[in-house]
Amino acid sequence: MLRDVRAVGTALREERYSSLEALFSDDELIELRREAELRALDARPWSSTGYSVSRKGRLDSPRRHRTGESGPRLRELHEGRPLGDFLSEAVGAAMFPTRAAYLYYRPGDHVGLHTDVDVCELTLVVNVEGDTGPLVLHPDLRGVTGDSLRALSEATNGFPAGGLPQPLPHGGAPALLGSSVPHHRPPVTTPSTIATLCYSGIA
């Protein structure tokens, strides 16, 4: 089901991101969609308007969306051998699943420039329902200090110009070194749901 492991590995090493094709079948996507709809009943609003830098230099910017917990089907896919083995082979290290969640967007919801939490060394973003539009990556900002990132984010309301818009391919996912590559999601225009799948093991 997964091909081009070498190309994915090279892209992750050299570009810090890649695009994974054909991760999930249509049947699996339907199952994820059903599960996401159930999880939406208990989803929690996540809204913040401030900018902050953690002691480790992780940036957070304003965001607004809802978050739902993973369920059995997402867990199965996230923690299953096929995906874990593929990612481990691509990266050249034993990757292990750390967290997965559903994120729900309504029109106007957004996630300003940020880096993911430590356990998301590698982050996969899967379109589950609707169309969130592209995720915008800023690999050129990797290594910039947290304070400088914060200043840039504040000056641009969380949406700096430039960056590399990554579409969410049907059944696939952009993969990025989420805890080190800054990224943002511009305001979405239609209701949509994604799943985020995080892995560690690179460091």
Q: How far is the CB of 152 from Fe ion (least distance, A)?
A: 16
What distance in Å separates the CA atoms of residue 111 and residue 117, rounded to the nearest whole number? 14
# residues contacting Fe ion (CB under 5 A)? 1
- Mapped to the 3 state alphabet, what secondary structure does 112-141 carry? EEECCCCCCCEEEEEEEECCCCCEEECHHH
Report if residue 116 touches Fe ion, rule: CB under 5 A.
Answer: yes
Q: How far is the CB of 181 from Fe ion (least distance, A)?
A: 9
CB under 5 A: which stretch of 5-13, 64-72, 85-93, 114-122 binds Fe ion? 114-122
* First vs last C-alpha separation in the chain: 27
Our CB check for Fe ion shows the closer of 93 and 101 to be 101
Per the CB < 8 A criterion, the answer to whether 104 and 163 are in contact is no
* Coil, helix or strand at residue 85: helix
* Coil, helix or strand at residue 87: helix
* Interface of this chain with Fe ion, residues 63 to 102, rule: CB under 5 A: none
Q: How far is the CB of 1 from Fe ion (least distance, A)?
A: 25
Our CB check for Fe ion shows the closer of 91 and 120 to be 120
What distance in Å separates the CA atoms of residue 44 and residue 47, rounded to the nearest whole number? 10
CB under 5 A: which stretch of 8-16, 61-69, 82-90, 108-116 binds Fe ion? 108-116
Q: How far is the CB of 114 from Fe ion (least distance, A)?
A: 6
Q: How far is the CB of 26 from Fe ion (least distance, A)?
A: 26
Our CB check for Fe ion shows the closer of 32 and 115 to be 115
Helix (DSSP H) and strand (DSSP E) numbers for the chain: 5, 13
Our CB check for Fe ion shows the closer of 39 and 138 to be 138
Per the CB < 8 A criterion, the answer to whether 18 and 175 are in contact is yes
Our CB check for Fe ion shows the closer of 39 and 65 to be 65
Q: Write the single-letter amino acid at 148.
A: S
Report if residue 60 touches Fe ion, rule: CB under 5 A.
Answer: no
Which of 114, 93, 119 has the alpha carbon at shortest distance from 46? 114
Contacts with Fe ion by CB under 5 A lie at 116
